[in-house]
Chain A
Amino acid sequence: MELHPIVAALRRHRLAVALLVLEIALCCAILCNLAFMIFARLSSMQVPSGIAESELTSLTIGSFRGDNQGAAADAIVQQQLAALRAIPGVRSADAINSLPLDRNSWYTEITFTPDAKDPVALICEFLATTNAVSTLGLKLVEGRAFTEADAAPMDSFLPTAPVAILPLALAHKLWPGEDALGKTFYMGAHRYQVVGVVEHLLAPVVHDPAQADFTALFPVAAASDTGGSYVLRAATADRDRVLREAEDVLLKISPTGIISDRRHYSEVRAQYFRQDRAMAGLLAGSCLLLLLVTALGIVGLASFWVQSRTRSIGVRRALGARRGDILRYFQAENFLIVGVGIGLGMACAYGLNLWLIERYEIGRLPLLYLPVGALSLWALGQAATLGPALRAARVPPVIATRSV
């Protein structure tokens, strides 16, 4: 196909062409960044927690604060745990202060020497009774889980048991290239030895995806330090019944207690990401609207050109051009215009991304988005031109003999 006549014809409509190119460029720039933001959100929602999500349920029993303290509170927690473990279908149960993504975080700085002022990492503490590794379904990469003998009470907000289990990501950060097992670290004056390393253990709140796994699990005695929150593991099919019975069992032991946060773990994850999901939906909706508006613009201009060139189309047909030639002419014309628009648009997309990076917490646009965005706009352009181009192809040669 000869491009020369197309370019020559477009020269006569410089302003309209410029507008269309501008529209395509804007659309391309916005579209690439939108698509990137959508996929970034969707992929952040997939962050692994390391726990057996589909088998966990949790609930909290609260009471008037200060009702029970010290040994009495310990005894009640032990009694409640025993009762929960006795529920048919419950594989295991533990008391724990928080769960991944439940927004209930407890941060502490860790150091390599006691009471040092130069922390090596800020981590989230998970404080649980000793069976928690198996209840949560954590995947031990090396070392061991806690045993009954590890349990020790809390000292203000630090566990006193000198053992800890870390996720791989934190172990790599603290001791790059070394085996973390047996290594020690400090929180305040307390010293802890790494006895186990698990694949993942996601924090209750994720601020920085690179530090999502900056957590540690510590064994505590069944004290009220875990806030009366229990996590139960049961087959997915049993979860509903187990949760109902758990509530009854707890209220039987503490009739004045108040049950809260009673839920399956899947709800915790859904709740945590609900705004991201909604935002992804909104962004996807905007993408579609944007494409629609752009397509309408292309259809409008293409129709206009077809109408205003009816006579020259007739002449071409009379001179021997076939319908396919006319169709291809308009399609090629659109291909050319959209191509220029995309070229400009990809540069704009990159620029827009740089601007967004500066102002919002957005990553660098992967280059792959540019050709994908370009291809989809080309496809959109071709589809939008098809209608008017087909109409042009139907113009009979006889038109050429008539005056306008």
Chain B
Amino acid sequence: MSMIAYYFRLALRSLRRNPVLSALMMVAIGVGIGASITTLTVLKLLSADPLPQKSAVLYYPQLDPRGSASTKSGAANAEPPDQLSYIDAMYLLNAHRADRQAVMAAGNFALRPDPVNGRAVKGFFADARETSADFFAMFDVPFLYGSAWTAADDDARARVAVISKALNDKLFGGGNSIGRTLPAGRGQLRIVGVLRDWRPTPRFYDIESRSSFGDAEQVFVPFLTARELKLGLDGSINCWSNSADIDHLETADCGWLQFWVELDTPAKAHEYLDFIGAYSAEQHAKGRFERAPNVRLRSVMEWLDYKRVVPGDVRLQAWLALGFLAVCLVNTVGLLLAKFLRRAPEIGVRRALGASRRAVFLQFLTEAGLIGLAGGALGLLLALAGLWVVRQQPADYAELAHLDLAMFAATFAAAVVAALIAGALPAWRACQIPPALQLKAN
């Protein structure tokens, strides 16, 4: 232990002797670590599990109702469409074969709020989710006031809505707005619930419409209520027949609905897959599905992976940063080598006075580790600066980019490990220096 303290003092002295060279090495390590941590933080943020406590039991069923020779599909695209048609989604919803199930579509419609404190509020378009009652329990959506609507409300096409905290703040000053009404389309929606801050990232349940990393919706309305009030839709609609009538989506051959199920055990998931397979076979026999059963049941993370939610740019940046770190490391190895070998006479003397190779090796490794610590501190500052730059970027995920504790610790660990790796080769070379030769040279 006392030897380590001694090496530590030697290292400090050595670093002070060549302040410029020492600074160069710290900067090299710091820049490499800073760039890597910045991009890895963003990558981690984007590939995170949006609902860690439940994502393993949530599944996204897909069916394939397309025509056999249908166009962009054909043999080239064996994957079923991403969304369900109304007929199929309502069948699955009403079958109640899962522990929980919800149909949903992205909506966007005009809200014309009642005057607040006698002052008229300008109408605006709000992003909405038109869904069914299980949505909230299935996704663990937290409520500030009130609660979700019920399945009975779904069936009765009740004029109810759940609103986000942000919308509640905007329209009702953050107060308890349960029971207040919200004029939407031709109807009046009664507010039954107000959410707490809720922003699953990425917004896994619908990554087709809008951005995967944006805010959650402002208004949640029962799906059938929204259809009856003709509230606007905002998602993509993919039709597999050119004669599809998009003015009557209830009967059209178009996929436009997302559907999620909760299946609490793997056995249930297996059963559900069989269930949608059997349904497809039945529809195929009837002639409604032209293809043989072609179904999928992906879990949340499988679905995000399949949809390639993490932008390619971000992966590319992460590789780039690692390449960058490699250049910085090679650089540091070179500089350490130069520095250590210049002290060959000193090493020779120490070896002649009885220091073992191991002692010399440890001494130089200590110095490398010290450089790593300093580089890590610099890297941390650079990572904070880098994440600040990321937050200024126009991407939707940008504002979420913050250094977390794990990354904070990883920065230092990575820097020290990097410096030790960089120091191992030069330290090994240094400890090979024979004592006698150096003494003679002097």
Interface residues of A (CB under 8 A from B): 15-16, 19-20, 22-23, 26-27, 29-30, 34, 37, 62-66, 108-109, 115, 117-119, 122, 156-158, 187-189, 256, 258, 260, 274-275, 278-279, 282-283, 286, 289-290, 292-294, 296-297, 299-301, 303-305, 307-308, 356, 359-361
| Closest A residue to B248 using CB positions | A156
- Which of chain A's residues have a CB closer than 8 A to the CB of B232? 65
Would you call B123 and A188 a contact (CB within 8 A)? Answer: no
- Which of chain A's residues have a CB closer than 8 A to the CB of B31? 289, 292-293
Would you call B112 and A34 a contact (CB within 8 A)? Answer: no
- Which of chain A's residues have a CB closer than 8 A to the CB of B317? 282
Would you call A296 and B331 a contact (CB within 8 A)? Answer: yes
| Closest A residue to B232 using CB positions | A65
Known: A30-B320, A66-B186, A297-B28. A274 touches B327 (CB 8 A): no
Would you call A189 and B330 a contact (CB within 8 A)? Answer: no
Known: A64-B185, A109-B71, A156-B244. A16 touches B24 (CB 8 A): no
Interface residues of B (CB under 8 A from A): 21, 24-25, 27-28, 31-32, 35, 67, 69-72, 109-110, 112, 122-125, 185-186, 230-232, 239, 242-247, 312-313, 315-317, 320-321, 323-324, 326-328, 330-331, 333-335, 337-339, 342, 389, 393-395, 425, 429
Would you call A66 and B313 a contact (CB within 8 A)? Answer: no
Would you call A275 and B242 a contact (CB within 8 A)? Answer: no
Contact partner of A26 (CB less than 8 A), chosen from B35, B112, B246, B326, is: B326
Give B33 Cβ to nearest chain A Cβ, in Å.
12
| Closest B residue to A108 using CB positions | B242
Since A158-B242, A297-B330, A300-B25 are in contact, a sample of 17 more A-B pairs with Cβ atoms closer than 8 Å, ordered by chain A residue number, is A26-B323, A62-B110, A64-B110, A64-B185, A66-B186, A108-B242, A118-B71, A157-B246, A258-B125, A279-B313, A282-B389, A282-B393, A289-B31, A293-B328, A297-B334, A301-B334, A304-B21
Chief secondary structure at chain A's binding surface: helix
Q: Complex formed: what's the CA distance from A234 to B425 in Å?
A: 69
Chief secondary structure at chain B's binding surface: helix
Q: Complex formed: what's the CA distance from A105 to B25 in Å?
A: 52
Would you call A296 and B28 a contact (CB within 8 A)? Answer: yes
| Closest A residue to B429 using CB positions | A15
Q: Complex formed: what's the CA distance from A64 to B110 in Å?
A: 6
| Closest B residue to A283 using CB positions | B320
Give A158 Cβ to nearest chain B Cβ, in Å.
7
Give B9 Cβ to nearest chain A Cβ, in Å.
24
Would you call B242 and A286 a contact (CB within 8 A)? Answer: no
Would you list 13 pairs from A and B whose C-beta atoms are within 8 A, ordered by A residue?
Answer: A16-B338, A30-B320, A62-B110, A64-B110, A115-B242, A275-B313, A278-B393, A282-B317, A286-B324, A300-B335, A300-B338, A301-B335, A304-B338
Would you call A297 and B331 a contact (CB within 8 A)? Answer: yes
Q: Complex formed: what's the CA distance from A258 to B111 in Å?
A: 10
Contact partner of B334 (CB less than 8 A), chosen from A23, A65, A115, A361, is: A23
